[in-house]
Structure 1
Amino acid sequence: MDLDLAGKTALVTASSGGIGLEIARSLAAEGARVTINGRSEAAVGKAIEDVRKTHPAADLVPLVADNGTAEGCAVTIAAIPAADILVNNLGIYEAVGFFDETDEAWQRLFEVNVMSGVRLARHYLKGMIDRGKGRVVFISSESGISPAPEMAHYSATKTIQLGISRSLAELTKGTRVTVNSVLPGPTRTEGVEKFISGVYPGLDFAEAERRFMAENRPSSLIARLIDPKEIGDVVSFVCSERASAINGSNIRAEGGLIRSAF
């Protein structure tokens, strides 16, 4: 399916690895000009090389900026004044019991997971509305609907993203701009692989994954970790003209983990 993304400009935050890298790869494969963002030149350069291994003609723009800070967002906006697509992918997490979650940990996750998207959307969405077209996507999580007790602060930030996304969608009424959230479930990123291997030391990863899903995410209908590419392709569709009727929505790409018909 042609997603009509050729010539579109896309900014994907935290796209030097993990889900962000696969979102960038998918958008680039559809012909978009994609800004690859990370906190170091080495990480951004490696990501660009990685994408070009599979898509040699990809139109990629490097951007070194820490969008988890106000200063980093200012760097991003100065370097990329306008975009047709903004994917707020940046996010951090940690598994910590509620009684051990410090004020500083709560504030750090709020600053990175919430304020990065707020700051960038405040700039880029305004331009999209003025032009009458554009896409903003927040990468939330199934934890935004089904909070994880071992990550209360992370889950809270992901729920907040859903509220922000819907509020911003209300501002697009009567335009060709859409604002949506995509909610991945447990995804096979480097960080998740490391976490699961730590939970089940001594097991080969395939068995560790099977046990993790069975014991910690038993409601998952796919009963496996999600491939980051699967999330990348969902996001590309949401960013496309083919998804023009989807606005103010939470698109669940969590493998059926959430037991809800709504």
Structure 2
Amino acid sequence: MAPEAVHGQVLLGTGPPTREELLVYYPAKFTWEQLKCFVNSGDLGLLKRDKKLQKRYNAWAEGIKEKYGSIVNYLLNYRLQWGQPDTLSLLGSALDESLPSQGTRKLLDPSVSRPLPPIPPDAPPYFAADTPKEFISIIQNDWPYSVPPEVEHTLIWTRLPVFHPDLISSSIAARVEQDGLWGFTGTTTLPPSPSLLPTYLPALSEWGVTIDKLIRSAKGSDEEEALVKRAGSYIDAFVRQRWVEDEWETAWFVNPPRLQSVLGLAHIHVFARHK
């Protein structure tokens, strides 16, 4: 489809946006400090996509569903590239500057629904820093949240469990089921306190977010907080390994199991800012 409008020299098209389109037509609604506070709030639903970009995504998704049958089929038949670098993204990452952009990939028959490759018996039991690359697909979010332009929004898709009984004590299972997990790397200071939310929530006013609508667990005992930290430590170790702390500051999160969108897969969101 032909571009719909021109703003300066940047064309407004359809489908996944370019970085230039994000800057011109979908400017960030919140700052890096606000983003970190939202991640640290305990309600990951505070992280939002620009409403106009969401509308564009919805239109794109309808076409994808017609072609592939579902978004899941699109992911499994085309977008996720197990063990390979992401050469399909229009946005790219500073970590992958040597990769060709807008790469090509053999298109599998979109009419055929394919299951995930089976997990071999000798595979690790859960996702960790040393997870073999064939169980991981790291891609840029083609439809990023409303993050500042200097922040990359990356998705780590994994075929191995992120939530596993060996990692999550039964005493915190209900809390993790509601809240998910999150963390921060590359900084010597504490993340912005959730107490700042009343100051930062006006940035989310167009989504109708107010303090009384938040869904989050109360702070637990020191023992419970330590168990939650342990549950996310393997994710944290992976993030620190990929986004070297001398060069990157990150905020990461993984939605709770009840909100995972693809059966048999987990995905971790990483917001990374180059220092």
TM-score, length-scaled by structure 1: 0.29
Bigger CA radius of gyration: 2
TM-score, length-scaled by structure 2: 0.28
Considering Cα pairs closer than 8 Å and 6+ residues apart, tell me whether 1 or 2 has the greater RCO: 2
